[in-house]
């Protein structure tokens, strides 16, 4: 597997990432399957708060592996606080993982249930100086994970991202994405699970405090179809649907998942 070509196909997929990225076989890898019966309710877990500046949104891009929205993180402009975190973490980007059909696509699995997609909001701890520095620290990064489920009352707030997808159909495309408050994507309930894990893409650094929201948000079949219409190839290559960009659950290796709710 060449260094630059990790992906989700049989020849460069999650089973082979460790060949170039040994951390992928580490002790604190993500995603995981969460089993309610093994979760520890922790009454000391407080609620989390996001305070996002819509003016921090910059661009949306297709990098051939996901669709990503990038935010200005040069100062404490859009931050996440509370819950299991100490201090404020800056929002850097959000992206999605999704499937080729509605029956799978999420990375975390809850009591055997896979959702159609999973949204990740990536924040970093500015006490480590910069994003690269934060990746080397156990408390460097905080990711809010939100499950997407296909339903009858789709969240209109997803519309903005899905509209802009028209402009980034192929790998390498990037378009302006201005004035957007990602907190409109949060579900009503703030209940969450938390555990220490990793990025779910190489090099799979183990620097993440995961905050996984219990309540999924709903999307429509049409909205899922839009995501699946992205191509993992460049403009001058044949279209190859960007789907199934999810890593399967990794071994828990003794880690405890805590829940903010009973």
- Measured at CB, which residue is nearest to Zn ion? 120
Residue 108 touching Zn ion (CB under 5 A): no
Q: In the stretch 51-80, what mask flags binding to Zn ion with x, by CB under 5 A?
A: ------------------------------
Beta strands in the chain (DSSP E): 33-34, 40-41, 48-51, 57-62, 67-71, 79-82, 89-98, 109-110, 117-124, 141-150, 174-176, 192-197, 208-213, 217-219, 258-259
| Residue 120 Cβ vs Zn ion, minimum distance, rounded to whole Å | 4
Which span (112-120, 182-190, 213-221, 228-236) binds Zn ion, by CB under 5 A?
112-120
Beta strands in 2-78 (DSSP E): 33-34, 40-41, 48-51, 57-62, 67-71
C-alpha 211/C-alpha 202 separation (Å) is: 20
Residue 120 touching Zn ion (CB under 5 A): yes
CB closer to Zn ion out of 37 and 121: 121
C-alpha 261/C-alpha 34 separation (Å) is: 14
| Residue 153 Cβ vs Zn ion, minimum distance, rounded to whole Å | 25
Residue 247 touching Zn ion (CB under 5 A): no
| Residue 43 Cβ vs Zn ion, minimum distance, rounded to whole Å | 29
| Positions in the binding site for Zn ion (CB under 5 A) | 120
């Amino acid at each position: 597997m060449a260094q630059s070509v990790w992906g989700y196909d049989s020849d460069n997929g999650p089973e082979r990432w460790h060949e170039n990225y040994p951390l992928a076989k580490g002790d604190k890898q993500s995603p995981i399957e969460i089993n309610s019966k093994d979760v520890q309710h922790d009454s000391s877990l407080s609620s989390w708060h996001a305070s996002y500046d819509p003016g921090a949104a910059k661009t949306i891009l297709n990098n051939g592996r996901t669709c990503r929205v990038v935010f200005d993180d040069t100062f404490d402009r859009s931050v996440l606080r509370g819950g299991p975190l100490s201090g404020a973490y800056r929002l850097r980007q959000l992206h999605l993982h999704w499937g080729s059909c509605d029956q799978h696509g999420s990375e975390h699995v809850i009591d055997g249930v896979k959702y159609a997609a999973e949204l990740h909001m990536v924040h970093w701890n500015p006490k480590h100086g910069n994003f690269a520095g934060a990746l080397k620290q156990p408390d460097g990064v905080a990711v809010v994970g939100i499950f997407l489920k296909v339903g009858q009352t789709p969240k209109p707030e997803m519309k903005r991202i899905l509209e802009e997808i028209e402009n980034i159909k192929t790998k390498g495309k990037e378009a302006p994405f201005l004035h957007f408050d990602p907190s409109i994507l949060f579900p009503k309930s703030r209940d969450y699970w938390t555990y220490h894990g990793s990025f779910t893409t190489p090099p799979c650094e183990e620097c993440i405090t995961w905050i996984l929201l219990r309540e999924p948000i709903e999307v429509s079949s049409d909205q899922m179809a839009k995501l699946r219409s992205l191509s993992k190839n460049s403009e001058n290559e044949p279209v190859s649907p960007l789907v199934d960009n999810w890593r399967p659950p990794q071994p828990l290796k003794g880690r405890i998942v805590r829940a903010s709710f009973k």
